[in-house]
Amino acid sequence: MDFVIRQASPDEYRALGDITARAYLDDGLLDFGESDSYLGELRDVAKRAAAAQVLAAAADGRILGGVTFVPSGGPMADIARPGEAEIRMLAVHHEARGRGVGEALVRSCVDRARAVEGCARVVLSTQRTMHTAHRLYERLGFVRTPERDWNPVPELDDITLLTYQLTL
């Protein structure tokens, strides 16, 4: 499959938000399903684009997936420290999975991080059940950093996100 990775344009935000929300819903990654408060964050690509870089994978006029790249802190960073870039909300349309779209999006983030002066690492958080994503990250050289695992909803004890980092 031929596709390009590029900055998402405003006219693509809705489609990318739908792909991201649908991926999380269909994969059972939202504890409260359609009523999960995080669903709104996943759909709000315009908000992410105002605070970070939103990349899209596109082919033949269709959006196949996307990712949010946080180059150096800011409101979209969850775990990044000084000298670290962060990857967030990686999602690929169900029909485009298995074709290298997710890998290309992650590689694009790594390439962007290498271009950021003073950036030494790329970090990310992932859910325990995202086994396919874990294999992708490890294949690309990311390593687990269990000392940085965290809970985005402290009032719910069973939501712990796993963390990974890639040293550049």
CATH number at residue 157: 3.40.630.30
At 90 the pLDDT is 97
* Angle, in degrees to the nearest 10, between helices 131-139 and 101-114: 50
Domain span at residue 119? 4-167
At 30 the pLDDT is 86
Q: What is the dihedral of CA 92, 137, 103, 122, to 10 degrees?
A: 100
* Number of domains within the chain: 1
pLDDT in tens, 105-124: 999 999 999 999 999 999 99
User: Would the pTM of this model clear 0.85, i.e. be above it?
Assistant: yes
Q: Where are the beta strands (DSSP E) in the chain?
A: 4-7, 53-59, 62-70, 84-92, 121-126, 143-144, 162-167
pLDDT in tens, 37-95: 899 999 999 999 999 999 999 999 999 999 999 998 788 999 999 999 999 999 999 99
